[in-house]
């Protein structure tokens, strides 16, 4: 019974889910059996067949963009240790967003725009921004152009991601990264590590997961839906810098709400979104 109901430990990491939780979320069942004639005892699992999924699994949508969950996002990062016990209100953040050729980074979709701004001392610095178009060196589907309005003529002559990522990495130095549906954007950055040598090892906070932790009964945690609930103007989306600005405004509204529920430090916020990640993950 302990093996069935206790939190699992995988690779030295304790997970909030038990074996029973995982099987139930798969829509399966399992039970204990004994074969007395052969003196054997075992658990029998019955699980439904499912298609293979990428390690960053898209399980829902956020305004047309898949909601991504990536285990790597919640691993300890070198830069997080010294910041973990600091108040969320005191930390310097880089809030960013990307526009892309499509929704599947593992199948060759590329970043075509990065937009970012900073939060310092609890204030969104609208004059301290990073905004850059990127030549993806590939075609852009018409369906994607209809969403973000960035066509091939706008990207002609723009730098490639190999030149843009070092500049963005320098802009974000010594800060905590904030994004909405962060694993989606982080996956695009991670896939460029080998080619560019740029590693984003910053701590990461995700406004989607923090909102879901604060308000688990809300039907939608899309950026516009959260913004409207918090009394913000959600108009003019689907440009990377505008989306980053809106994400920053949402994050600043979430910080006092988190504090009201006892989440005041970076470590506590990271743990809250980690719990939400496992709660929202569907197998």
Which one, of 103, 104, 150, lies nearest residue 131 by Cα?
A: 150
Crossing angle of the two packed helices 240-260 and 207-214, in degrees rounded to 10? 30
Q: Is 221 a catalytic residue?
A: no
Among 26, 169, 215, 238, the active-site one is 238
Phi then psi for residue 209, to 5 deg, are: -70, -40
C-beta atoms surrounding 46 within 10 Å: 11
Catalytic residues: 238
């Amino acid at each position: 019974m302990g093996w069935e109901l206790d939190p699992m430990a995988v690779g030295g990491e304790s997970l909030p889910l038990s074996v029973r939780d995982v099987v139930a979320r798969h829509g399966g069942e399992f039970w204990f059996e004994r074969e007395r004639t052969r003196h054997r005892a075992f658990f029998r699992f019955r699980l439904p067949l499912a298609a293979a999924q990428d390690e960053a699994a898209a399980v829902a949508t956020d305004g047309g963009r898949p909601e991504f969950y990536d285990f790597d996002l919640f691993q300890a990062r070198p830069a997080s240790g010294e910041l973990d016990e600091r108040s969320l209100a005191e930390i310097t953040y880089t809030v960013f967003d990307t526009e892309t050729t499509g929704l599947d980074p593992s199948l060759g979709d590329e970043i075509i725009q990065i937009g970012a701004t900073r939060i310092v001392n609890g204030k969104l610095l609208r004059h301290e921004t990073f905004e850059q178009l990127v030549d993806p060196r590939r075609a852009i589907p018409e369906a994607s152009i209809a969403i973000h309005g960035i066509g091939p003529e706008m990207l002609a002559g723009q730098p490639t991601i190999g030149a843009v990522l070092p500049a963005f990495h320098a802009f974000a130095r010594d800060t905590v990264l904030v994004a909405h549906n962060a694993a989606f954007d982080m996956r695009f950055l991670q896939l460029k590590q080998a080619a560019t040598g740029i590693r984003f090892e910053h701590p990461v906070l995700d406004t989607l997961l923090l909102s879901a932790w604060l308000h688990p009964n809300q039907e939608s945690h899309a950026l516009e839906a959260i913004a409207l609930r918090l009394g913000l103007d959600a108009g003019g989306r689907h440009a990377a810098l505008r989306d980053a600005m809106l994400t920053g405004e949402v994050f600043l509204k979430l910080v006092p709400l988190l504090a009201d529920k006892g989440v005041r430090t970076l470590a506590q916020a990271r743990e809250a979104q980690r719990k939400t990640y496992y709660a929202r993950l569907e197998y």
